[in-house]
Chains A and B, each alone.
Chain A
Amino acid sequence: MSTLLETENLSIAFGGITAVDQVSLAVSPGQIHSIIGPNGAGKTTLFNLVSGLYLPSAGRVRLAGEDVTGMAPEQLARRGLSRSFQNLQIFFRMSAVENVMVGCHRHERTGILSHLLALPNVRAENRNSREIAMAQLARVGLADLAEKEAGSLSYGALKRLEIARALATEPRILLLDEPAAGCNAVETEEIDRVIHDVAKAGIAILLVEHDMRLVMRISDEITVLERGRKLVSGRPDTVRNDPRVIAAYLGTFGSEEANRA
């Protein structure tokens, strides 16, 4: 498989503390690559570097062969990289379907003057975006809640709404930051299904998740971070039996949990 996203010795320091330290990893289309590690290991920081929210102090990010290091999030979105957030970033005053329609933004072509005049091509575009958004909502199982104001949805629904919104950008790679955090078993199951489904469609997935059973079950590859550094990288069964990983992160209880998956 060809590599879609690649980081090379990616690093960032905040006031002397190196939060992410020379991390290199690669994700291919259709692959689910999980990042795990204890709290403060630098998982979300790594996501923020890859998605353009932070500027790395060293290292490079390449997307489909292009050097995208230091590009703004909106530029990366246009190149096919989108993400969800650990702490929800929802457009609370808009309806669920409108939230996802914002995800269609990068495909919308009409100009602001035609928007002011509500020209027929704008109305066609609105309809088109709404259709795409509805399809994405159906994909994550939220079609019934399309017209509800996002602020009134449950936590688990909002987690999936973020995924639908990111999918509406038609990404080539999707970064999911703890999509199952705070979700109950049924919702986790649903998210598991969605991630599988997305990967099967050929989209690369970079996943940060604490639910070890979910991670072990769906990942093609796992990278373990500890204090900003890459500890181990490999297939789930390699990683869960690695003594360094057990010592640093899983502990005895965690490794039992992982083995049960």
Chain B
Amino acid sequence: MERLLRNRWALVLGLALVLATLPLAFPSNYYFRVAALVNIFALAAIGLNLLMGYAGQVSLGHAGFMGIGAYAVAIGASRFGLHGIVAMLAGAAVAGLLAFLVGRPILRLKGHYLAVATLGLGLLISMVLTNEAGWTGGPDGMAVPRLELFGMRLRGPDTWYMISAGALVLGVILALNLIESPTGRAMRAIHDSEIAARVVGVDVAAYKLKIFVISAIYASIAGSLMAFLNGHITPDGTAGFLRSVELVTMVVLGGLGSVLGAIVGAAMLVILPQALTIFHEYEHLLLGLIIMASMILLPRGVIPSLLARLRGGGA
């Protein structure tokens, strides 16, 4: 079982299989919608996990990049007449460029200082999206024109479930490839000892920046998909501070340094609030309790802790 979870192709195949068969169990469009949201947040969480779990650099403003991706498809299509796919790619380019420009000064900071600086970046982006009402519709948000592909208007949650599932599988493959490459080794090395990485020739600043850019692009693509799925976006719903906190929670809850963990974390944080609505006013209380219990019982995150148990070493 542990071997299976560590083999990257087994992981990809297993994931693809689960994603392909799940719809058989979905009784309504509502389920497709929730599952599509899981895929989308999992994609963003995988990107953030590359930064946090592998390279060891925190970002408390990552939803800002989701916001850029979301508004890129909304503004690109409605004001510039861009095709949705082109707008999505443009958004990813903008998010990557912003991460590149801001990353160099910001990533010199460590720990709490980096956390606050990235938090500031996230707040800044969401502020701009809120205040530039002429472009973004302000706090009330704006409609996202439906994506048209091969003459079809893509609107159903089932369609977006399939598309987001494809994007997730692709995101998983790219992330796993990266982790097992010279770049992946360099970033994991940076996490454990920056000084040792430097004396064997790893340009630490350059690698932190590369990973920051990649994780921003993951978030931006996820944001674009969310905009397409929802058809309407707001600054708070895409780029807000709470969204950033959610992304960090997904990564930590599911397991830092585990691609599968990011997916599990995303699934928990998207599905639980939906499932807990039957408890009405106790919903948030229960969600908090479950998160706390999970962290106490599985302190290294769901997947790494379970793997350690399987290995027999305890959590």
Chains A and B are bound partners: yes
Q: Which residues of A contact B (CB under 8 A)?
A: 51, 53, 72-74, 76-78, 82-83, 85, 89-94, 98-99, 101-103, 105-106, 108, 110, 112, 115-118, 122, 125-126, 129, 162, 165-166, 168-169
Contact A115 B200 (CB under 8 A): no
Complex CA distance for A105 and B187, rounded to whole angstroms:
11
Chain B residue contacts of A78, Cβ below 8 A: 201
Complex CA distance for A89 and B193, rounded to whole angstroms:
6
Name B183's contact: one of A51, A76, A112, A169 (CB within 8 Å): A112
Chain B residue contacts of A53, Cβ below 8 A: 195, 199
Contact B196 A129 (CB under 8 A): no
Given A108-B182, A122-B181, A126-B180 in contact, is the A91-B200 Cβ separation under 8 Å?
no
Q: For chain B, what secondary structure do more than half of its interface residues adopt (helix, strand, loop), or is it mixed?
A: helix
Chain B residue contacts of A162, Cβ below 8 A: 196
| B110 proximal to A (CB < 8 A) | no
CB distance from B205 to the nearest CB of A (A): 9
Interface residues on B, range: 20 to 34
Known: A89-B193, A91-B197, A106-B200. 8 other contacts (CB 8 A): A51-B199, A74-B202, A98-B188, A99-B189, A105-B201, A112-B214, A115-B182, A116-B177
Q: Which residues of B contact A (CB under 8 A)?
A: 174, 177-178, 180-186, 188-189, 191-193, 195-204, 210, 214, 257
Contact A105 B192 (CB under 8 A): no
Given A93-B188, A105-B201, A125-B182 in contact, is the A85-B196 Cβ separation under 8 Å?
yes
Contact B199 A102 (CB under 8 A): no
Complex CA distance for A115 and B186, rounded to whole angstroms:
12
Chain B residue contacts of A108, Cβ below 8 A: 182
Given A74-B201, A74-B203, A77-B201 in contact, is the A102-B185 Cβ separation under 8 Å?
yes
9 smallest CB-CB distances across A and B, nearest first, come from A77-B201, A115-B181, A106-B201, A89-B196, A118-B177, A73-B198, A91-B192, A108-B182, A89-B193
Given A115-B181, A125-B182 in contact, is the A90-B203 Cβ separation under 8 Å?
no
A-B contacts counted at CB < 8 A amount to 105
Given A91-B192, A101-B185, A112-B183 in contact, is the A166-B199 Cβ separation under 8 Å?
yes
Contact A115 B184 (CB under 8 A): yes
Complex CA distance for A74 and B205, rounded to whole angstroms:
11
Contact B193 A82 (CB under 8 A): no
Chain B residue contacts of A93, Cβ below 8 A: 188, 191-192, 257
By beta carbon, the residue of chain B nearest A83 is B199
Contact B182 A110 (CB under 8 A): yes
Contact B174 A116 (CB under 8 A): yes
Contact B182 A89 (CB under 8 A): no
Chain B residue contacts of A73, Cβ below 8 A: 195, 198-199
CB distance from A148 to the nearest CB of B (A): 13
Chain A residue contacts of B200, Cβ below 8 A: 77, 82, 102-103, 105-106, 165-166, 168-169
Complex CA distance for A102 and B202, rounded to whole angstroms:
8
CB distance from B147 to the nearest CB of A (A): 25
Contact B196 A94 (CB under 8 A): no
Contact A118 B198 (CB under 8 A): no
Name A91's contact: one of B178, B180, B193 (CB within 8 Å): B193
Complex CA distance for A243 and B186, rounded to whole angstroms:
49
Chain B residue contacts of A94, Cβ below 8 A: 185, 188-189, 192
Contact A91 B199 (CB under 8 A): no
CB distance from B261 to the nearest CB of A (A): 14
